[in-house]
Chain A
């Protein structure tokens, strides 16, 4: 199935579309910061790819910590980690994307790694959910879901993130198709987020200021 992708990139459009989903740039930026923090937390003594794993852990945690106080819930069904807003029929998972992540022009991004069976199922759910909406003339996916139709009646968005030396490119996107290697490669909607600049951790050399002036205390012996 090939679908047309709707890409939101104008700041006002992005803000409005995120608002429709009960989200904001600020909320997602916390997850992006956390992703960067996770990448930077790995040391040479960690197992290879620890940074990527910690980035996944930290960003998942941050997203949930930001959203659960706002009425969302976490869901780990089948080991598939999402944060879910049942009322809005929306769920989010996080993933590392390729270099096309966050770019409105050019190729659509793909997730960096092959996805497991639960992702395959979630993407299939999305297709099912969206086809139901299409039949009822909805053109967006934020309406109330029908609990009987999908696994939990939610469409699952992916917060895609990709680190470059200058910052983290990111987007919140709605997948509808996996490629042959089970990487997500087709999107119904893409909400392009601003690049989150980083001058952090391993990315910047440490430059320190000159020490400040020291003082000498005048102490003089009195006569007599």
Chain B
């Protein structure tokens, strides 16, 4: 038993369940003193206690036996609404991040993923200029972004989902070993989630290594996200001056943003006067559009996840097998990979039949945006 208990894993599992040590003591019937000792590595739980903890925390016993998880400290992590989060919510989200690091390491062992191409843009004092520079570097012009999560993944950012019930936890991001990570709450609207992804990208390029934090950094990341999703020139070209709610509704899908975000941007680029913007903001509020986005767009999912699990399925393996290999509950895996929603959508379907691929021309492949997944037997 001695060699098969890793103290930090108990802390991670406990935080994932949003429990304090005291709360865990209450539900498990194990004394606070013992629990503190287990997490500090001073004592090793008996097999009976380990069984109880595994049952109460809904983690397999095997989880507690594996090596230490990479620890994440909140200082290195950009939380969107730090001030509104409780310590428990933060701890729970960080524990998610620590588990994602383990999943990411697993993915990289078995699959080759894009190398990160995320520049350091701290030299730009203006987030709008930084967004333009990034668009230029990535060859995006000023066209709307078709799919933010796919863009991030194609540039080597690892994107995971957060199935947090706490609305305060929008999203967060961090760098680890030269690899950028972004976490998105799946409880948000599709539009809001795209904005969150762009906001976190802003932190990654603007605040990579200890730049401003707190409110100032959040405002910079917001402006970055707004500018990246809705380039000034594009908004000026397609949104009428003095736009009404109906005008914005008819256009918001172009940029894949919320009505509120488009109104804000239109005001910022000078298409709406102060009074007009205020009036629209009130209308958006009154109609409940802030909590329930009108004409909503579908949520963006991770393409890496879709391809990986399709490939595994072709080998006769499923998410339960992966969870078992990691010593995780299946639900924890699902919560990080966008619920593993595998849908037959164009460009996302994985064709693993090599002969079928050969029968098509490269041009056809390019035309339908066929994913470049290659199974190596």
| A residues at B contact (CB < 8 Å) | 29-30, 33-34, 36-37, 40-41, 58, 62, 65-66, 197-201, 203-204, 206-223
Contact = CB atoms under 8 A, between A and B. Distances in A.
Given A200-B242, A218-B114, A29 B304 contact: no
Given A34-B279, A40-B244, A58-B279, 9 more contacts: A37-B244, A200-B240, A201-B246, A206-B250, A212-B144, A214-B150, A215-B146, A216-B370, A221-B112
B247 A201 contact: yes
Contact of A220 (B273, B347, B373): B373
B371 interface: yes
A221 B111 contact: yes
Contacts of B113: 217-219
A29 B273 contact: yes
Contacts of A30: 273-276
A203 B373 CA distance: 49
A164 B82 CA distance: 50
B109 interface: yes
B355 to A, nearest CB: 17
A213 B148 CA distance: 11
Interface in B12-64: none
Contact of A215 (B151, B250, B273, B373): B151
Interface of A is mostly: loop
A66 B273 CA distance: 12
B375 interface: yes
A201 B244 contact: yes
8 contacts: A30-B273, A33-B242, A198-B242, A200-B241, A212-B140, A216-B347, A220-B372, A222-B111
Contact of B303 (A66, A203, A204, A216): A216
Contacts of A200: 240-244, 247
A14 to B, nearest CB: 19
B237 A209 contact: yes
B150 A215 contact: yes
B299 interface: no
A215 B148 CA distance: 9
B234 interface: yes
B191 to A, nearest CB: 16
Interface in B220-262: 234, 237-238, 240-244, 246-247, 250-251, 254
Contacts of A209: 143-144, 234, 237-238, 254
A100 B88 CA distance: 67
Contact of B304 (A206, A213, A214, A219): A219
Contacts of A220: 111-112, 372-374, 376
B324 interface: no
B307 interface: yes
B176 interface: no
Contacts of A223: 376
- Which of A30, A216, A220 counts the most B-chain CB atoms under 10 A from its CB? A216
Q: How big is chain B's contact interface, by range? A: 35 or more
B141 interface: yes
Contacts of B374: 220-221
B143 A210 contact: yes
A206 B252 CA distance: 12
A214 B146 contact: yes
Nearest to B346: A214
Given A65-B275, A221-B111, A204 B154 contact: no
B85 interface: no
Given A65-B275, A200-B247, A212-B144, A219 B371 contact: yes
A62 B274 CA distance: 10
Contacts of B145: 212
B10 interface: no
B197 interface: no
Nearest to A39: B244
A41 B276 CA distance: 12
Nearest to B150: A215
B170 interface: no
B147 interface: yes
Please give me the 7 A-B residue pairs with the lowest Cβ-Cβ distance, nearest first. A212-B143, A215-B154, A214-B146, A220-B112, A219-B307, A200-B240, A217-B153
A204 B241 CA distance: 10
Contacts of A204: 240
A197 B371 contact: no
B308 interface: yes
Interface string B107-135: 00111111000000000000000000000
A220 B153 CA distance: 14
A128 to B, nearest CB: 34
B198 interface: no
Contact of A222 (B109, B144, B251): B109
A66 B275 CA distance: 8
B132 to A, nearest CB: 14
A64 B146 CA distance: 43
B242 A36 contact: yes
B373 A221 contact: yes
Contacts of A213: 139-140, 143, 146
A173 B369 CA distance: 63
A221 to B, nearest CB: 5
B150 A216 contact: yes
A209 B256 CA distance: 13
Nearest to B110: A222
- Which of A208, A211, A218, A222 counts the most B-chain CB atoms under 10 A from its CB? A218
A30 B242 CA distance: 10
